[in-house]
Amino acid sequence: MSNEKIFVTKSSMPSYEEYIDAIKPLWESHWMTNMGVYHQQLEQELKEYLDVPEISLMVNGHMALELAIQSFGLPEGSEVITTPFTFISTTHAIVRNNLKPVFCDVKEIDGTIDETKIEDLITEKTVAILPVHVYGNICNIEEIQRIADKYSLKVIYDAAHAFGVKYKGRGIGSYGDASIFSFHATKVFNTIEGGAVTFSEHKMYDKLYNLKNFGIRGEELVVEVGANAKMNEFAAIMGLCNLKHVDANIAERMQVYNRYVNVLEKVNGIQLFTNNSESTQNYAYMPILVTDKYSLTRNKLYEVLKSKNIYSRKYFYPLTSDQACFKNKYKYDDLKIARRLAEQVLVLPLYAGVDVIVIDEIIHTIRQPQGEYEQGKQ
């Protein structure tokens, strides 16, 4: 291995020439933000690519989620059933809306919220369910919607990992009352920083427009209190460029993913998540579970890889419910599965353009870790 550090992901970018050529008109127009022509174009192209009825672009995925929740006007102090096996943003968005997260355990097969445990957590204060499509693995959409309909609850999906995924032939962002996507630099598709809310009720577009643009609806008219969560034109152009190449990048990711899986699924003590047969995959992540049957602990394997300049991630550890800012503050059921996954999961490097030699080195290290680890300690 070289001295180059290999991280879990590497941002997909168009060629320098392609991007520079695309942004040249901004120097002529000086229109760099405020829902300009490129913002509008990207909204339309993403609406078609993601196969969703409506979409509103945002400055990042977190503000997309925070404003999506806010747009429903849920009563302060109400409860939202969600998962602790997610990035901290999911929980922050609930709490910053003055709502209370109620943590539900997840399923061992794919890390998504355990729909069989949701109903037991519903109280008279419950107003919504906020599930997460983890690593692009799709939640049990039908059962979650059945529960939501039964108790008149909103369903807001965190689909930050699920860009381009389809379930039963429909864009994943077309399910529930709303879904959010992240276009962060580390994602399958990026706008450098960015995000979006997808939804079906057109009136929600106006509500989100107000929330992301200070409530301004005219030169002298502000209709409600809003934030500043607009996507700028430079980011929108990066998105337009990257969208041209995203299918090719996903195809490259698939090849890397399959190279991992073909070997690692046979390694004793390494467990892989199960993909839903009725959904497509975007190969956003390569998570493995390092179980008790493996020769090293998850943390030791992490260190072995790190010693080779390979930086895997304990993604997600710890659970959001166990972070210092939330620990012992909110209700949860028995999070036995979620805690076990958090202790076992390790996400390996996966991105378009990664050298196959690197992937083979990672695979070799996982297959024969103990001797090398002991030797490295001397």
Do 93 and 219 belong to one domain? yes
* Full 3-state SS string of the chain: CCCCCEECCCCCCCCHHHHHHHHHHHHHHCCCCCCCHHHHHHHHHHHHHCCCCEEEEECCHHHHHHHHHHHCCCCCCCEEEECCCCCHHHHHHHHCCCCEEEECCECCCCCCECHHHCHHHCCCCEEEEECECHHHCCCCHHHHHHHHHHHCCEEEEECCCCCCCEECCEEHHHCCCEEEEECCCCCCCCCCCCEEEEECCCHHHHHHHHHHECCEEECCEECCCCCECCCCHHHHHHHHHHHHHHHHHHHHHHHHHHHHHHHHCCCCCEECCCCCCCECCCCCCEEEEECCCCCCCHHHHHHHHHHCCEECECCCCCCHHHCCCCCCCCCECCCHHHHHHHHHEEEECCCCCCCHHHHHHHHHHHHCCHHHHHHHHC
Q: How far apart are CA 45 and CA 49, in angstroms?
A: 6
**Residue ending a domain, choose from 214, 241, 268:** 241
**Residue ending a domain, choose from 241, 256, 271:** 241
298, part of any domain:
yes
Q: How far apart are CA 325 and CA 329, in angstroms?
A: 8
303, part of any domain:
yes
- Which has the closest alpha carbon to 197: 146, 241, 247, 160? 160
Do 371 and 263 belong to one domain? yes
Do 100 and 29 belong to one domain? yes
Tally the residues of the chain: 378
**Residue ending a domain, choose from 187, 211, 241:** 241
Do 222 and 253 belong to one domain? no
Q: How far apart are CA 131 and CA 154, in angstroms?
A: 11
11, part of any domain:
no
Do 251 and 234 belong to one domain? no
- Which has the closest alpha carbon to 132: 153, 104, 152? 104
Q: How far apart are CA 200 and CA 178, in angstroms?
A: 7
Which pLDDT does position 376 carry in this prediction?
Answer: 47
Do 231 and 251 belong to one domain? no
137, part of any domain:
yes
- Which has the closest alpha carbon to 139: 151, 150, 127, 130? 130
Do 161 and 135 belong to one domain? yes
| Block residue for tokens 């009136």 | 203
Do 300 and 237 belong to one domain? no
Do 232 and 249 belong to one domain? no
Do 229 and 280 belong to one domain? no
8, part of any domain:
no
- Which has the closest alpha carbon to 64: 169, 204, 167? 204
The CATH number for 297's domain is: 3.90.1150.10
pLDDT in tens, the chain (378 residues): 557 899 999 999 999 999 999 999 999 999 999 999 999 999 999 999 999 999 999 999 999 999 999 999 999 999 999 999 999 999 999 999 999 999 999 999 999 999 999 999 999 999 999 999 999 999 999 999 999 999 999 999 999 999 999 999 999 999 999 999 999 999 999 999 999 999 999 999 999 999 999 999 999 999 999 999 999 999 999 999 999 999 999 999 999 999 999 999 999 999 999 999 999 999 999 999 999 999 999 999 999 999 999 999 999 999 999 999 999 898 777 899 999 999 999 999 999 999 999 999 999 999 987 554 554 453
CB of 128 closer than 8 Å to CB of 156 = yes
Do 62 and 177 belong to one domain? yes
Q: How far apart are CA 197 and CA 74, in angstroms?
A: 17
Do 307 and 230 belong to one domain? no
Q: How far apart are CA 112 and CA 118, in angstroms?
A: 12
Domain of residue 357, residue span: 245-377
10, part of any domain:
no
Please compute Rg for the chain using Cα positions.
21
The CATH number for 42's domain is: 3.40.640.10
232, part of any domain:
yes
Task: Count up the domains in the chain and report the number.
Answer: 2
2, part of any domain:
no
Q: How far apart are CA 319 and CA 87, in angstroms?
A: 8
Which pLDDT does position 348 carry in this prediction?
Answer: 98
pTM, to two decimals? 0.95
